[in-house]
Amino acid sequence: MKQLTKLLLIIAGSISLALGLLGIILPLLPTTPLLLLAAACYVRSSNRLYEWLITNRYFGSYIENYRLGKGIPLKAKVIGVSVLWLSMGYTILFVIPLIIVKLLLACIAMFFSWFILKQKTLHKTQR
């Protein structure tokens, strides 16, 4: 039973990691929470995968900085909010015909913008 639990956690962590990586280019997928979920699954199932994830040169520092409460780099905030509003703006203006759905998407974009911007900003001297 313990081996099955570990296997399921590895699968869940890997799916979460894949979705988190997609979240880098798809603004509605929350990258950091999905990476944190992957880390939580890996820490309970595979020390090797957990160490690989948190020491990864591309996104390991984001996990560590977020976990330690240091914040998100300004560049990541600017890129995240910009991509969010570019994609949502295009969708609202040119793709979705229903006003209620347009309003819902605008509210979602505002919420995620607020969430990103309310996080501490990680300055270069803090890294």
In terms of pLDDT, which residue wins out, 97 or 78?
97
Residue 89: per-residue pLDDT? 94
Residue 61: per-residue pLDDT? 78
Using the predicted structure, report yes or no on whether residue 127 has a pLDDT greater than 70.
Answer: no
Place of tokens 């890129």: 79
Please state which of the ranges 12-21, 26-35, 67-76, 100-109 shows the lowest mean pLDDT: 26-35
As a three-state string, the secondary structure of 47-91 is HHHHHHHHCCCCCHHHHHHHHCCCCEEHHHHHHHHHHHHHHHHHH
pLDDT in tens, 56-77: 988 787 788 877 888 877 877 8
Using the predicted structure, report yes or no on whether residue 55 has a pLDDT greater than 80.
Answer: yes
In terms of pLDDT, which residue wins out, 11 or 72?
11
Distances in Å between the Cα of 87 and the Cα atoms of 9, 105, 107, 109, 118 are 33, 11, 14, 10, 21
Residue 63: per-residue pLDDT? 81
pLDDT in tens, 92-111: 999 999 999 999 999 989 99
